[in-house]
Structure 1
Amino acid sequence: MAILDRTVRRVLDRMRLVVRPSATAARQGGHRSPFKASGVEFADHRPYVSGDDVRHIDWKAFARHGHLVLRQFEEERDAFVHVLLDVTGSMSRGAPPKIEVARTLAGAFVYVGMRQFDRARVIPFADELDDRPLAIRGPQDLPQLERFLGDSEAAGPTFFDEAIQQLAARGLPRGLVVVISDFMAPDGWEDGFRRLGAMGHELRVIHVRCQEDLEPAWRGELELRDAETDERVRLRVNDALLKRYRAEVQRHLEAVRESCRKTGGWFQDVDVSMATDAQLLRVFGAPRLRSAAGAR
């Protein structure tokens, strides 16, 4: 079954990525960001104020209305969209598995970016970056995107900050960075987010969760295995222990959310139990992500 099937694409065709100007580059592309200077497309007028560049005064409008106004333009910009996809062992949990939902969301961001002629790529990560990031430039690359996402299996531990250091060493054009993960690794997120912010990227963080993460069906004498490190531990699971576990998970996820906020990023939860269109609308209905109808 296709990850981005016709139903999913119909939803995404109504969506548009809006990226802040500081995270874009002046290139030939489909993404437009407003700038108060001459550009390629007229956008609007605004009243003239002392100190404005008189070259941008609309003298024809002045002749008609008797008021000084400036012409504002939209400069054509190219937004690089980098989707970091968590493919660690814990992503295999859930019904459906978190990795399946994450693949769809990763493909969705790439698809919307591609529709706007932006540069988009998927970069899987676990204990290190995948050596084969996939760049998408147009519809002709969609079959390759489907195969690439389908081959991204959930296995191994998470070392997010180390992966970001590798990314910085390779060179990452400034743009929008979307991190899709269950954030079950205990650390590394704050440093990684801070590095991305320092590199000038705009950050969007998507937390893919399942009921098992917060309410595991564990009781009695058990041997538990870490899905990422394969470490095993025997313990007696009772209500008191589960209460402590839930509190610790909530504390950890709140710390991840706060780390994202400190870098000026945006954080959103998506549950695997939600219908696919509801997941997409939850993500693309967020601030600075809007439908094409709302972007007019």
Structure 2
Amino acid sequence: MVIKITIPLHVTGFWKPIYAKTPLYTGSIGAGINLSECLTVYAEKSSENTLFYNEKKIHFPTIDYVFNKIPCRIKVRAYSKGVLGAGYGLSGALALGVSIAGLILCKEKTTLEEAASRAHVAEVLASTGLGDVIAEYYGGFEARIRPGPPGIGMVVKLPVDPSVRIVAISLGTYETRAMLQQYGPKHGLLASSYLDQLLKNPDILYFMELSRSFTKQLFDYSLAEKTISPIRRLILDYYLKKRVLVLLVEKDRVNDITDYLEKNNIGYIVSRVKYSGVEIEY
């Protein structure tokens, strides 16, 4: 039996790490957007644990942890347009896909939330993410108001104007561990304040403004601003998460923007906000 699991890619805009005594209660609060451009996972039982991403065999500590926790062996083939390490929450999505696949194929006597918890713990222990798993599990334009995985953490979904689209551009890679190391107390205070402000004014354009203000304190915007300078007038707003440049645009401007990107050999993803999270097909 082959099962199919789809998981939205996630780009957070601002965040505050919350560290607890156990990985289950460690996580982040903040806000982000889940993309309709998903990670698609196909999984089946096998003689050994293997993971292929876009046809390339890969392994890293986050996934090794999940494989070691499931009671049978599975082969996983995963596909998306996202770049690992750029800022799309792919390590969390892959961990979530492998963990849920293990739950179903190994016939574990447990819940989807507990499978998601396993993926969350793997992310925390490997320092590859703090809030992506819970965000991707539920989907939407989300505010994470309590840290942890599904069942422990808490998210609220915020409304989105259906006429807007997201254009995401990959500008390289940037390790999450390195990002967390340069994160200081002032960033946490700012993220908490921005979360409160967003909940009082749950508007995606306001979210973009807050996210740009927040991430400018962490990331170098010079390449991002150079990339979009000729098309800035077509963009409602933008921010940079690690090395993913996120553009909020009106849907009737998408073609003009993508024409420019293609002429300049700049890779991109066009997406809507995906309001559902993990989806499973048999």
TM bracket, shorter-chain basis: under 0.3
TM-score of the superposed pair, with normalisation by structure 2: 0.25
Structure exhibiting the larger radius of gyration computed from Cα positions: 1
